[in-house]
């Protein structure tokens, strides 16, 4: 199938309806089912144009955490392909149940509903038992440290998908030691969510590296952006992530667009915080940057437990070199996160401006 680089206007169009935040889960399930089967309007997570191409079932606006938000147009075929490939990977069967622990303003939460439709069940909350669930690393960390209710819920799941942000090896090992079956996922809104599970592509999906940058391909790929250019070449979607291949598995190294240049040296914020989270367990740590007249951009750290700047600098210098020495370390009561679980680095920079 050839994917367009831009979603074009069609002579035939389909109504686009904004998802109402007041809808109950059954109401949203019904609206999604109608969107997938073509019996109702396509759905959108944000107010947009009133119509789309007929094959589009869902338009999901990205968070814009590292750039301008984009309206991603997803077909029913792509969404269903991803749900079925996920179920094949985890061994789900009709009647199994998912729990909904992620917001339905993002593809990860909406995927739970689509998977539930495929299995003929209604997703449950943390108060009930489930066979499968999907969470972000922040939720997993809190379940292992402060949220006993969430941990007990996860303990009852046969598999727990963790994605949306890097998961430290320390947290994964601790979760595994405590009996949780963790599957890390990697993908994007543009691929209907995760398409790489534990470094391996789902059925039909493929990955490769283009100059060290991760490219994805498969039936899960979006049709494009509404009114914008889509970075697809020969069917390959070029992501904003660096990666490497280790024993045939994809290893995500961090985002290209979270790099800062401090004193002429490049520093990856995600690589810094992932390393620190593995070195200083049982606390939340986020790396962010602030403009600086001397350095251009300076590396700053926010943490929920007191850490001396000397201790952090020693770790980072050993791992990355002297240029990765932080200029500020701030202790905060809570790390601010975007709704999908990614750290809000912009807010931290503003808070400590």
The series of mean pLDDT values per 10 residues for the chain, 353 residues long, is 38 87 95 96 90 94 68 97 98 98 95 98 98 93 93 98 88 95 97 98 97 96 91 93 94 84 84 88 87 86 93 92 91 87 88 88
- Fold: same for 14-253 and 263-351: no
Q: What is the pLDDT of residue 3?
A: 30
Cα(343)–Cα(292) distance, integer angstroms: 21
Per-residue pLDDT, 67: 53
Neighbour tally for 346: CB within 10 Å: 15
pTM, full prediction:
0.81
Q: Parse the chain into domains and list their residue ranges.
A: 14-253, 263-351
- Look at residue 39 in the predicted model and tell me its pLDDT: 94
Q: What is the distance between the alpha carbons of residues 91 and 158, in angstroms, rounded to a whole number?
A: 10
Residue 119: C-alpha distances to residues 28, 129, 179, 328 (Å): 16, 16, 25, 49
pLDDT at 27: 97
Q: What DSSP line would sit under 100-164, residue for residue?
A: --S-TTSHHHHHHHHHHHHHT---B-TTS--SEEEE-HHHHHHHHHT-HHHHHHHHT-SEEEE-S
Which CATH number is 263-351 given? 3.30.300.30
Nearest to 72 by CA among 187, 164, 190, 186: 190
What local confidence, expressed as pLDDT, does residue 238 receive? 95
Give me the pLDDT at residue 322, please.
85
| Helix/strand/coil percent split, the chain, to 5 | 30, 30, 40
Q: Is the domain covering 14-253 a CATH 3.40.50.12780 domain?
A: yes
pLDDT at 294: 75
* Exposure string for 231-261, b = 16+ CB within 10 A, e = fewer: ebeeebbbbebbbeeeeeebebbbbeebbbe
For the chain, the C-alpha Rg in angstroms (whole number) is 21
Using CA atoms of 131, 136, 142, 143 in order, give the dihedral in degrees to the nearest 10. 10
Q: Find out whether 53 and 10 touch, Cβ atoms under 8 Å.
A: yes
What's the CA gap between 238 and 231, in Å, rounded? 6
């Amino acid at each position: 199938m050839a994917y367009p680089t831009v979603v074009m206007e069609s002579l035939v169009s389909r109504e686009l309806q904004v998802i109402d935040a007041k809808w109950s889960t059954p109401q949203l399930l019904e609206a999604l089912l109608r969107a997938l089967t073509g019996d109702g309007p396509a759905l959108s997570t944000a107010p947009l144009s009133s119509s789309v191409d007929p094959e589009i079932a869902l338009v999901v606006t990205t968070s814009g955490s590292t750039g301008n938000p984009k309206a991603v147009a997803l077909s029913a075929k792509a969404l269903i392909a991803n749900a079925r490939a996920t179920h094949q990977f985890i061994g789900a069967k009709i009647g199994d149940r998912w729990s909904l622990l992620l917001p339905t303003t993002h593809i990860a939460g909406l995927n739970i509903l689509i998977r539930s439709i495929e299995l003929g069940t209604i997703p449950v909350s943390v108060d009930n038992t489930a066979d499968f669930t999907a969470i972000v690393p922040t939720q997993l960390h809190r379940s292992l440290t402060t949220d006993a209710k969430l941990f007990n819920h996860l303990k009852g799941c046969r598999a727990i998908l963790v994605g949306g942000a890097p998961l430290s090896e320390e947290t994964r090992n601790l979760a595994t030691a405590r009996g949780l079956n963790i599957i890390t996922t990697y993908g994007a809104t543009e691929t209907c969510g995760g398409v790489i599970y534990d470094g391996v592509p789902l059925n039909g999906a493929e990955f490769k590296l283009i100059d060290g940058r991760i490219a994805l391909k498969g039936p899960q790929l979006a049709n494009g952006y509404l009114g914008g250019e889509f970075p697809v070449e020969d069917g390959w979607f070029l992501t904003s992530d660096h990666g490497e291949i280790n024993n045939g598995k994809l290893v995500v190294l961090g985002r290209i667009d979270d790099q800062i240049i401090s004193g002429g040296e490049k520093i990856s914020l995600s690589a810094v915080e992932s390393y620190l989270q593995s070195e200083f367990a049982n606390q939340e740590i986020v790396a962010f940057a602030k403009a600086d007249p001397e350095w251009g951009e300076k590396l700053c750290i926010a943490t929920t437990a007191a850490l001396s700047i000397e201790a952090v600098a020693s770790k980072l210098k050993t791992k990355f070199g002297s240029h990765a020495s932080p200029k500020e370390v701030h202790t905060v009561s809570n790390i601010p996160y975007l709704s999908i679980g990614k750290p809000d680095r912009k807010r931290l920079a503003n808070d400590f401006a």
